[in-house]
Amino acid sequence: MKNGCDIAYVYHDEDDHGWQFHYNGEKNVADCMVVALEEIVVLDSSVLEVADIPPGWMASREEKGAPWKRAKQ
């Protein structure tokens, strides 16, 4: 992710079934990027562990390597 930040949040959007990947900390619109899902998997293959979350759900973790926690949004 941007500046080497680890992915800490994964959102599976309910409205359009898109995916969002976020790092910890503050963000602004300038931080947004459109990337191929394949690029995300190359950066951090552990996102595949939560690839089955249904639309309207999210997964989070404290840090890279920590277990993912799932929750309905």
Domain segments of the chain as ranges: 2-64
Whether this model's pTM surpasses 0.95: no
Q: Tell me the chain's radius of gyration from C-alpha atoms.
A: 12
Q: How far is CA 57 from the centre of its chain?
A: 11
Is residue 46 classed as helix, strand or coil in its secondary structure?
helix
> What is the full per-residue pLDDT of the chain (73 aa) written as tens digits?
667 889 999 999 999 999 999 999 888 888 888 999 999 999 999 999 999 999 999 999 999 999 999 999 9
CA pair distance 18, 13, nearest whole angstrom: 5
